[in-house]
Structure 1
Amino acid sequence: MTGLRAPLGSLLVIVLALAVAWSAPALAQQRSLFDVLFGGNNNAATQPPPPAAQPRTQPQPQSIRRAPAPAPAPAPVAPPAQTIAKSDVAQRVAVFGDSLGVDLARALDRLYAENPDIAVLQKSVGSSGFVRNDFYNWNTAIEDELVADSFDVAVVAIGVNDRQVLNGAEPLSDPWREAYRARLDAFLGNIRAAGKQVIWIELPPMEQPTYGAAMAQISSIHKAAISAVGGEWVETYDRYLGENGAYSASGPDLNGNIVVMRKGDGIHFSAAGADKLAFYVDRAMGAGGSRVSLSGSTLEVADLLAGTDAATMLRPPFQGLEQMRLVEMASLVQDLGGVAPRAGDLILAGTPVARGFALEDMLDAPAGRVDAFGVGRVRRVVENPTGR
Structure 2
Amino acid sequence: MSGRHSDRTGLRWLLNALIVLSIGLTALLIEPPRQAGAQERRTIIDMLFGFGRRRPPPVYDDVPIYEPRQREPQQQRPRTKKVKQKAKPVPAEPAPVVVEKLPDAKKVLVVGDFVAASLGDGLQTAFETTPGIVIETRANGSSGLVRDDYFDWPESLPAYIGEVKPSVIIVSLGANERQQMSIDGAKEKFRTDAWLAEYTRRVGTFAALARKDKIPLLWVGMPPFQSNSMTADMVTFNGIFRTEAERVGGNFIDIWDGFVDEGGKFVMTGSDINGQQVRLRGSDGINLTKAGKRKLAFYVEKDIRKLLGEAAASGQDVPGADGLKDLVVTAPTANEDIIQTQPISLDDPDLDGGSALLGGTTALAGNGKSPRDKLVEKGEVVSAPAGRVDDFRLAKPETVISNPVIRN
TM-score if structure 1 supplies the norm length?
0.56
Runs of 4+ deviating beyond 6 Å: none
2:144 aligned residue: 129
1:199 aligns with 2:218: yes
Q: Distance between the aligned counterparts of 2:82 and 2:251, measured in 1?
A: 65
Q: Which amino acid aligns with 2:179?
A: Q
Change (3 A) 1:257 1:74: closer
Q: Is the CA contact (8 Å cut-off) linking 1:282 and 1:295 kept in structure 2?
A: no
Q: Is the CA contact (8 Å cut-off) linking 2:132 and 2:313 kept in structure 1?
A: no
| Structural RMSD (CA) | 3.1
Q: After superposition, where does 1:1-150 map in structure 2 within 5 Å?
A: 36=39, 67-73=82-88, 77-78=92-93, 80-150=95-165
2:288 aligned residue: 269
1:294 aligns with 2:290: no
1:211 aligned residue: 230
Q: CA deviation at 1:283?
A: 1.4
Aligned to 1:123, what secondary structure does the other structure show?
Answer: strand
1:182 aligned residue: 201
1:227 aligned residue: 246
Q: CA deviation at 1:79?
A: 5.6
Q: Distance between the aligned counterparts of 2:91 and 2:271, measured in 1?
A: 29
Change (3 A) 1:258 1:295: farther
1:312 aligned residue: none
Q: CA deviation at 1:109?
A: 0.6
Pick aligned residue for 1:251 from 266, 270, 279: 270
Q: Which amino acid aligns with 2:159?
A: D
Q: CA deviation at 1:135?
A: 1.6
Q: CA deviation at 1:74?
A: 5.8
> Cα deviation per residue 1:140-172 (whole Å; 9 max; x = unaligned)?
110112333532211112211110111111112
Q: Which amino acid aligns with 1:212?
A: T
Q: Is the CA contact (8 Å cut-off) linking 1:95 and 1:105 kept in structure 2?
A: yes
Q: Is the CA contact (8 Å cut-off) linking 1:203 and 1:219 kept in structure 2?
A: yes
Q: Distance between the aligned counterparts of 1:35 and 1:258, measured in 2?
A: 96
Q: Which amino acid aligns with 1:290?
A: L
Q: CA deviation at 1:210?
A: 0.9
Count residues in correspondence: 244
Aligned to 2:181, what secondary structure does the other structure show?
Answer: coil
Q: Distance between the aligned counterparts of 1:200 and 1:209, measured in 2?
A: 23
Change (3 A) 1:149 1:118: closer
Q: Give 5+ residue unaligned stretches, structure 1.
A: 1-32, 38-55, 297-388
1:278 aligned residue: 297
Q: Which amino acid aligns with 2:308?
A: S
Aligned to 1:113, what secondary structure does the other structure show?
Answer: coil
Q: Give 5+ residue unaligned stretches, structure 2.
A: 1-35, 41-70, 315-408
Q: Distance between the aligned counterparts of 2:86 and 2:243, measured in 1?
A: 62
> Cα deviation per residue 1:4-41 (whole Å; 9 max; x = unaligned)?
xxxxxxxxxxxxxxxxxxxxxxxxxxxxx98859xxxx
1:157 aligns with 2:175: no
Change (3 A) 1:260 1:183: same
Q: Is the CA contact (8 Å cut-off) linking 2:117 and 2:139 kept in structure 1?
A: yes
Q: Which amino acid aligns with 1:99?
A: F
Q: Is the CA contact (8 Å cut-off) linking 2:133 and 2:311 kept in structure 1?
A: no
> Taking every aligned residue pair, what percent have the same amino acid on both sides?
26
1:384 aligned residue: none
1:357 aligned residue: none
1:350 aligned residue: none
1:337 aligned residue: none
Q: CA deviation at 1:295?
A: 6.0
Q: After superposition, where does 1:166-181 map in structure 2 within 5 Å?
A: 166-167=181-182, 168-181=187-200
Q: Distance between the aligned counterparts of 1:80 and 1:242, measured in 2?
A: 34
Aligned to 2:246, what secondary structure does the other structure show?
Answer: helix
Q: Distance between the aligned counterparts of 1:240 and 1:213, measured in 2?
A: 14
1:44 aligned residue: none
2:327 aligned residue: none
> Cα deviation per residue 1:90-137 (whole Å; 9 max; x = unaligned)?
110111111111111111111111110010112111111111222211
Aligned to 1:104, what secondary structure does the other structure show?
Answer: helix
Aligned to 2:211, what secondary structure does the other structure show?
Answer: helix
Q: Distance between the aligned counterparts of 2:283 and 2:310, measured in 1?
A: 36
Q: Distance between the aligned counterparts of 1:235 and 1:102, measured in 2?
A: 17
Aligned to 2:261, what secondary structure does the other structure show?
Answer: coil
Pick aligned residue for 1:242 from 250, 261, 274: 261
Aligned to 2:310, what secondary structure does the other structure show?
Answer: coil
Higher Rg of the two aligned structures: 2
Q: Distance between the aligned counterparts of 1:165 and 1:92, measured in 2?
A: 35
Q: CA deviation at 1:179?
A: 2.0
Q: Is the CA contact (8 Å cut-off) linking 1:112 and 1:295 kept in structure 2?
A: no
Q: CA deviation at 1:69?
A: 4.1
